[in-house]
Structure 1
Amino acid sequence: MANQKLLLVDGMAILFRAYFATTFGSSSSIRRTSSGLPVNAVHGFVRYFMDAVKTFEPTHIICCWDMGSTTFRTEQYDGYKSNRPSAPEDLVPQFDLVKEVVASFNVPNIGIEGYEADDCIGTLARAFKDQAEVVVVTGDHDMLQLVDESVSVAIMKKGIGNYMVYTPLSLMEERQLTPAQIIDIKGLMGDTSDNYPGVKGIGEKTAHKLIQEHGSIDGLLANLEAVSKTIRAKIEADLDMLHLSRDLATIRCDAPVSAELEACCWAYEREIVLRKFEELEFKSLVALIS
């Protein structure tokens, strides 16, 4: 048990990162197979993925995916992520392709309609943290709310091989926050990339200060008379949105997904991966698989 380590991979975050790292703003520079199939994002994904394997040396791996843009959050709030442009045309065929590559490594692809990859990761992290050390690999700082004694979150930085690994201790050292307070800060300040507003007129600095002083949104609301009139007025004017934003920011750890740890062992047959690489003309990646 002590030596089991489960890597939970945020597939979409890595695929998008790989796509944008390799397009350089022009579709003519996109890597394609000789039949014209775009494969740049999948190629980049494999490089990030294998680097994470080398860095964290997991015994088990699961890759989680978003399954379309309609989720319980879009039902709660129409505007949720509505500011996101649709995926670039030459990325779309790579969504299925990347899952085929992941499957060729014998790694389960997990995703469920109506939930985001974050929720699958949160649920699996909670399910397995007593059986294995869990490391989440992502580019998404929202995932920091999942950090606990047996779950660390590795945020990918620029370039391959750069990670900032968060534990409860390093999160407290860097941001003076507990994992749960990450959610409350998002509830107050909102999230421009996910397109929900939080409390109008409260930015990150103020949110941070309020949560540090009062511990949580509940602590703040119970003690509103202690904050300045201006801030109190802003919060009272936007109370419903504050509660909704906090709810939207919360990763669900009870999504209807499950897996068997035994089925997630990091053990692939080189021949199967090689065949997939050959099909996608990934000659330069063959050296990555021993």
Structure 2
Amino acid sequence: MMTEPKVLLVDGMALLFRGFYANAYGGYIRKTKAGLPTNAVFGFVKYLFDACRTFEPTHIVCCWDMGSKTFRTDKFADYKGNRPEAPADLVPQFDLVKEVVDGLNIPNIGMIGYEADDCIGTLSKQLGAHMDVYVLTGDHDMLQLVDERVKVVIMKKGPSNYAVYDSEALLEEKQLTPKQFIDLKGLIGDTSDNYPGVKGIGEKTATKLLVEYDSIDGILDNLHALPKGVRAKIEADIEMLHLCRELATIYCEAPVSCSPEECLWRPDHSKIASLFERLEFNSLVKDMSKLVLSVS
């Protein structure tokens, strides 16, 4: 039976950071005999394999942030300015994880000046012309990418625990369309990305306004009809509102590309086995063997 083609677009940093913190409890950091920290990469591979078993992609791409300076920091200097330095044991794993992804025969894609989100958004449009797209992330900002061909898979706590969003699930759970998610962030801001939105407007009020007036533009056209307090808050922060909407928008025309042929997943068993041996990932070799058999 021919499997319908399906691409998994992986938010690399989301998996790597999750892997690091899940495998750093009690202060123990997994290292090779030579002292190279590998806990984040080990966690990354476990999460990736779990998603492969769950969603059975025929194609995979992994997207990465390429440094902290992007076109968003040019617009708003404090963008993501609250992020702490990466833990020292994680730093050497940034390059190592890309080497492992490469060893799995999966393309690594990133572009200086853009975030992984922009690369994922761009590739979801390109590859969505050919097949169904599943975006694997922990980041709710990605929900704006949902469309007929694109589902967003949010990783939740614990193994094999995913929330899969299509337009119907989004509307049912959040009362919003994918496009309205951008306007929601414009109104309420994003503490993890360090932009403020409109001071004093929370998610409940913002959702109510968007359900009633459809968009930020619709809200601004009807300022006269809003309760006095809400209207005053929006008027006081109108420039920030427009800026935050821009910052929240994933740019889907980043200068990256990947054809279906380039991201067809064809793992090479012996190549991966020797890579895992070198990293002392012995417990993952069995996982990998089962997975590779199911793919081939």
TM-score category, normalised to shorter length: over 0.9
Shift of 1:196: 0.3
For the residues of structure 1 that align with 2:262 and 2:256, how far apart are their CA atoms? Answer: 14
For the residues of structure 2 that align with 1:267 and 1:171, how far apart are their CA atoms? Answer: 33
For the residues of structure 2 that align with 1:159 and 1:280, how far apart are their CA atoms? Answer: 24
SS in structure 1 at match of 2:44: helix
SS in structure 2 at match of 1:97: helix
Q: Is the 8 A contact 2:127 2:259 kept in 1?
A: no
Output the amino acid matched with 1:20.
Y
For the residues of structure 2 that align with 1:96 and 1:183, how far apart are their CA atoms? Answer: 32
For the residues of structure 2 that align with 1:174 and 1:137, how far apart are their CA atoms? Answer: 19
What residue number does 1:112 align with?
111
Shift of 1:22: 1.1
Shift of 1:152: 0.1
Shift of 1:289: 1.4
**Identity percentage of aligned residues:** 64
For the residues of structure 2 that align with 1:25 and 1:134, how far apart are their CA atoms? Answer: 37
Output the amino acid matched with 2:221.
A
SS in structure 2 at match of 1:289: helix
SS in structure 2 at match of 1:262: coil
SS in structure 2 at match of 1:153: strand
For the residues of structure 2 that align with 1:21 and 1:146, how far apart are their CA atoms? Answer: 27
Shift of 1:25: 5.3
Q: Is the 8 A contact 1:198 1:241 kept in 2?
A: yes
TM-score by length of 1: 0.98
User: What are structure 1's unaligned runs of at least 5 residues?
Assistant: none
Q: Is the 8 A contact 1:2 1:132 kept in 2?
A: no
Shift of 1:9: 0.4
Output the amino acid matched with 1:103.
D
What residue number does 1:35 align with?
34
Shift of 1:240: 0.5
Moved over 6 A (4+): none
Output the amino acid matched with 2:125.
R
What residue number does 2:124 align with?
125
> CA, structure 1 residues 214+106, in 2 after alignment: closer, same or farther (shift >3 Å)?
same
Shift of 1:68: 0.6
Aligned length, in residue pairs = 288
Output the amino acid matched with 2:251.
R
What residue number does 2:263 align with?
264
Answering whether residue 285 of structure 2 is matched by residue 286 of structure 1, we say yes
What residue number does 2:294 align with?
none
For the residues of structure 1 that align with 2:116 and 2:55, how far apart are their CA atoms? Answer: 21
Shift of 1:2: 8.0
What residue number does 1:182 align with?
181
TM-score by length of 2: 0.96
Output the amino acid matched with 1:50.
F
For the residues of structure 1 that align with 2:250 and 2:158, how far apart are their CA atoms? Answer: 27
Q: Is the 8 A contact 2:66 2:114 kept in 1?
A: yes
What residue number does 1:10 align with?
11
SS in structure 1 at match of 2:4: coil
Cα RMSD of the aligned pairs, angstroms, is 1.0
